Amino acid sequence: MIEVFEESFPLARAFTISRGSRSAAQVLSVRICRDGHEARGECVPYARYGESLDSVRAQIEALPDGMSRLELQEALPPGAARNAVDCALWDLEAKRTGVPVWQLAGLERPKALITAYTLSLDTAEAMEARAREEAHRPILKIKLGTPDDMARLEAVRRGAPHSTIIVDANEGWSAEVYSDLAPHLVRLGVALVEQPVPAGEDAALIGLARPVPVCADESCHDRASLPGLAGKYDMANVKLDKTGGLTEALALRDAARAAGLKVLVGCMVGSSLAMAPAHLVAQGAAVVDLDGPLLLAADREPPMRHDAQGLHAADPALWG
């Protein structure tokens, strides 16, 4: 039996990007009960991809009972619905066999990972103050994509002079804006820029000098996206809510590397249940951006542990 239900996790602070602001993470959780075992998965529907809580719930509720993970890949397209069910089926297999997911997937034992920490969009003064508070973090991710981006970036660098900075423009720039800003990004030590231009307009990146690496996010969903990234991007952002689960995320990660792209493993704003499978994909990634649980005021029990070594693998009582 597959059950799906909505849950809300309050954020420690309002989270703002160029598209809007939120004060809670609204997620859909899946529970699969079979043969005396209970397994779970989580997804975050994203309006940018035409998803809503209701539409994703309907996709999941239409699935027949007893579906295998292989059958699921054909039954649903890449996206949030398939993600939650796919991850729950991996969890179910681990519980049935007593073998952790990392072993079932033929992976090495997962290690703690240093993750980026996101500063949401605000005034330059507020972002500088937040950067000072978080200056102990090795990697800070900045949400930009407005006409006042340089003032914000300069402010964050003043607040956190030693942190690595990555920038997410959320499709808010043009190729010309990227080129104009690139020398300043280099000067300020920015390590990469995520999706500077709208996904439908990224042909403008072909032949463009990219002194700061450009990472595809909205332009990269699953393996079918990879041919369209050639010549435009240096990295691919693998998110399970885009790939449609752990199964495709692992395949996309390996295919992206084979295509000469570095890999960033990212997330929507969700709980530790969503980060647990992504943590396996992120092993060996060039950049890890799995800070969802760090942004919450309250997480699931047991939460994923985060300390100076980074974000640790999930307790099997949570997932996997």
Q: Annotated catalytic residue: which of 95, 141, 143, 232?
A: 143
Rounded average pLDDT over 198-209:
96
Active site residue 239: yes
If 0-12 CB within 10 Å is exposed, 13-18 middle and 19+ buried, where does residue 90 land?
buried
- In this prediction, residue 12 carries a pLDDT of 87
- In this prediction, residue 18 carries a pLDDT of 61
Terminal-residue alpha carbon distance, the chain = 19
What is the percent of the chain with per-residue pLDDT over 70, rounded to a whole number?
99
Instruction: Please tell me the distance from the alpha carbon of residue 130 to that of residue 54, in angstroms, as a whole number.
Output: 35
Rounded average pLDDT over 211-219:
97
Instruction: Please tell me the distance from the alpha carbon of residue 198 to that of residue 92, in angstroms, as a whole number.
Output: 38
Active site residue 143: yes
310-311/2-17 β-pairing: unpaired
* Cβ count within 10 A of residue 53: 16
Asked whether the predicted pLDDT for residue 22 surpasses 80, the reply is: no
Alpha carbon distances (Å) from 61 to 40, 93, 261:
15, 21, 36
Q: Annotated catalytic residue: which of 95, 141, 239, 242?
A: 239
Q: Tokens at residue 121, please?
A: 């969009």
What is the band of 19 on the pLDDT scale with cuts at 50, 70, 90? low
- What is the pTM assigned to this prediction? 0.95
113 Cβ contact list (under 8 Å, min separation 6): 279, 282, 283, 285, 288, 290, 310, 311
Query: Over the chain, what is the mean pLDDT?
Result: 95
Per residue, what are the HEC states of 117-161?
EEECCCCHHHHHHHHHHCCCCCEEEEECCCCCHHHHHHHHHHHCC
- Give the residue from 178, 272, 290 showing the smallest Cα distance to 234: 178
Question: CA 252 from chain center: how many Å?
Answer: 14
Task: Summarize pLDDT for 131-164 with one digit per residue, the tens.
Answer: 999 999 999 999 888 888 999 999 999 999 999 9
Rounded average pLDDT over 221-236:
97
Asked whether the predicted pLDDT for residue 319 surpasses 70, the reply is: yes
Rounded average pLDDT over 249-276:
98
Task: Summarize pLDDT for 68-82 with one digit per residue, the tens.
Answer: 999 999 999 999 999
Instruction: Please tell me the distance from the alpha carbon of residue 74 to that of residue 248, in angstroms, as a whole number.
Output: 12
- In this prediction, residue 297 carries a pLDDT of 96
Rounded average pLDDT over 203-224:
97
Instruction: Please tell me the distance from the alpha carbon of residue 171 to that of residue 217, in angstroms, as a whole number.
Output: 9
Asked whether the predicted pLDDT for residue 20 surpasses 70, the reply is: no
Task: Summarize pLDDT for 125-135 with one digit per residue, the tens.
Answer: 999 999 999 99
